[in-house]
Amino acid sequence: MKILILANKDIASNFALNLLMPKLTSDHQLHLWLSAKVGKNTNQPEQLSRLKFFEQDLLNQLLSRLFISSKTTTFTGFAGFNAYLGSEMREENKINSSESIEQIQQMSPDLIISIRYGGILKEQCIKIPKHGVINLHSGILPKYRGVMASFWAMLNGDETIGTTLHTIDDGNIDTGEIIKISTIAVQNEKSYLLHTLELYRQGILDIINTTKSYSRNEKVLTYPQAKSQSYFTFPKEEDLVRFEQKGLKLINEQEYIDFLCEYYLPDQDT
């Protein structure tokens, strides 16, 4: 199959793509488009600016120079993904523009996979691929529609957080038919960012299994979401203060370093 993957230029997307792309490249022709950000530019609290630094700025401006080729046992930065692709990776922040729609039509993908992509796909784009569009949402739907779902679940004291693999059927956000929900236990001593990264281990397996079903022309079983009016936006200052008062952290620098050492940095013994 031809598969167009849409993702965001952040550490969680990069980790997810490192888990996903080597598993798909032998059987499918892959294309990758990246958004630069999720959400609109607003005046963010200092805590969210710091989170963005670790999620995006540090990765894209500094660490990408250190990441080695994906031919080794470690993961690669975004530039390394070109080795898996049928066309050059590109940044695309206007997915519904006439130019982008025309290029997707020319590409004629059988499936579009969205992981943390910053744009909202509209009908003209959604109807192009034979098997439609699937999205991996880093939250349990329909309870946690919107952004930073793991943050809100942890703030609410939930014992588990999860990913939801679902179809995108229209221009609404985090709706569509549910394919699979996978969960992990919350560990309050670990940061929000590490929880988010951990979610993608099983979430990516759910994408891989679903992609296999589509490639075999097997029916992918789905079920409709329950009605829900909930939608979460970026937390405000008072939400972030409550998060900290509960003893929770957005970022733990040592966790971040350990994560990079485990997956991205060269093994000095090889």
Which CATH number goes with the domain that contains 82? 3.40.50.170
CA torsion sign, 47 to 52 to 57 to 58? positive
Q: Which of 60, 72, 47, 213 lies closest to 134 in space, CA to CA? A: 213
User: Is 232 among the domain residues?
Assistant: yes
pTM of the predicted model, to two decimals?
0.94
**Does pLDDT of 43 surpass 90?**
no
User: Is 270 among the domain residues?
Assistant: no
User: Is 269 among the domain residues?
Assistant: no
The residues that bridge with 165 in the sheet, in sequence order, are 136, 180
User: Is 104 among the domain residues?
Assistant: yes
User: Is 63 among the domain residues?
Assistant: yes
Work out the number of other CB atoms within 10 angstroms of the CB of residue 208.
13
pLDDT, residue 267, reads 61
The overall average pLDDT reported for the chain is 92
* Domain span at 256: 2-263
> How far is residue 223 from each of residues 76, 82, 116, 167, measured CA to CA in Å?
35, 35, 22, 10
**Does pLDDT of 41 surpass 60?**
no
User: Is 205 among the domain residues?
Assistant: yes
Cα–Cα distance measured from residue 145 to residue 138, given in angstroms and rounded to the nearest whole number: 9
Domain count, the chain: 1
User: Is 268 among the domain residues?
Assistant: no
Q: What is the pLDDT of residues 74-125, one digit of tens each?
A: 788 899 899 999 999 999 999 999 999 999 999 999 999 999 999 999 999 9
**Does pLDDT of 5 surpass 50?**
yes
